[in-house]
Amino acid sequence: MDCWNIFLVGVGGQGVLVASEMLALGFLRAGYDVKKSEVHGMAQRGGAVSSHLRCGPLVHSPLIAEGEADLLIAFESLEALRWLSFLKKDGILLVNRQEIKPTTVTSGRMQYPEDICGQLSSRHRTVHVVDGLALARAAGNPRSINSALLGAASRFLPVPERIWKRVIREAFPDKVVEVNLRAFALGKKASPLAG
């Protein structure tokens, strides 16, 4: 059984922590020991959100050391750039190309970086860009981004699809389960966009 260090980053309100919870439960059901750590409170206030997820035969630290993440799932482009150094050199970056301007930018004080996907590709070997919002809309609800990204991530992870489907069924109220299962499937099938 390998160890998996997965670092999720994004903006409060995007569903980063729900995605992290689903990943954690998936690995738990697949027989892994799991530890997950995050700082709460940014969901309503638009701040940066990050979640450390560690899975393996026996996990001690709940935090991932810098440069030790196998997979960085970034729900937003600026956050992908901000946390790139957490990835191993041969780690996988899965980034949602959405751009959400922080208040430091909307107030006119700072600039949002240009061509983030280009910067990411020049600094890291394995970059998968997805249009999470388009996938979520195609599934039927723009809020199902987290399930779409889960689907995209699932291609790299040693957890069978039936476990992910079960986790999705349990994570959402009945009336939105189908939308999220569709988003997961679309994310899993999505081919990487040109960086």
For other proteins, which is the closer residue by CB, 69 or 190? 69
Q: Is 82 near other proteins (CB under 8 A)? A: yes
Piece of 95-103, 145-153, 154-162, 183-191 that binds other proteins (CB under 8 A): 95-103
Furthest C-alpha separation in the chain: 49
Residue 141's nearest CA partner among 169, 188, 181 is 181
Q: Is 141 near other proteins (CB under 8 A)? A: no
For other proteins, which is the closer residue by CB, 12 or 131? 12
For other proteins, which is the closer residue by CB, 85 or 189? 85
Q: Is 162 near other proteins (CB under 8 A)? A: no
Smallest distance, Å, CB 138 to other proteins?
19
DSSP letter, residue 193: B
Binders of other proteins among residues 175 to 194 (CB under 8 A) are: none
Does residue 165 contact residue 181 with C-beta atoms inside 8 Å? yes
Does residue 7 contact residue 69 with C-beta atoms inside 8 Å? yes
For other proteins, which is the closer residue by CB, 107 or 191? 107
Distance of alpha carbon 17 from alpha carbon 10, whole angstroms: 9
Does residue 145 contact residue 14 with C-beta atoms inside 8 Å? yes
Q: Is 81 near other proteins (CB under 8 A)? A: yes
